[in-house]
């Protein structure tokens, strides 16, 4: 599994917000400091705001800040918000439609791997990226 650009940039954006604490950051400030595209950051910010991971305020003192503490925002939540559910294989994802699922011996291994990946992604928080 390769982390998408959207998730990668989203993590950069959220890390900047986490480091800013209670201060609001404008997207243009984050784009300038990080070298990321302002247009792409705007798309990411909209999705994160809809999922209540960030808050936005308009005006000269406005911008974005985290809606929750960094320790409450997991890597799994971020990736699933910006991408899709994390799955090692199609068989490890919920609702496997593989024709071989009923007799395949591998599905048990993929499921076990998926459970462990989920546990790891749930343990890693935005606070870990700030450290």
Instruction: Please report which confidence band the pLDDT of residue 115 belongs to, taking 50, 70 and 90 as the band edges.
Output: confident
Instruction: Note the pLDDT of residue 114.
Output: 84
Instruction: Note the pLDDT of residue 129.
Output: 94
How many structural domains compose the chain?
1
Question: Whole-model pTM?
Answer: 0.85
In this prediction, what percent of the chain has a pLDDT beyond 70?
86
Tens of pLDDT, residues 11-61: 999 999 999 988 999 999 999 999 999 999 999 999 999 999 999 998 887
Q: The domain spanning residue 95 has which CATH number?
A: 1.10.10.10
The range of the structural domain enclosing residue 16 comes to: 5-130
Residues 71, 126 contacting (CB under 8 angstroms): yes
């Amino acid at each position: 599994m390769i982390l998408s650009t959207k998730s990668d940039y989203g993590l950069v954006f959220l890390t900047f917000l986490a480091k800013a604490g209670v201060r609001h950051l404008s997207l243009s400030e984050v784009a300038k400091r990080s070298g990321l595209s302002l247009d792409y950051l705007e798309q990411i910010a909209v999705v994160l705001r809809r999922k209540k991971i960030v808050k936005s305020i308009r005006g000269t003192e406005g911008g974005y800040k985290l809606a929750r503490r960094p320790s409450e925002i997991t890597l799994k939540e971020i990736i699933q918000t910006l991408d899709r559910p994390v799955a090692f294989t199609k068989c490890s994802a919920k609702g496997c439609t593989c024709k071989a699922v009923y007799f395949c011996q591998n599905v048990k291994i993929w499921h076990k791997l998926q459970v462990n990946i989920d546990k790891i992604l749930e343990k890693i928080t935005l606070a870990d990226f700030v450290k």
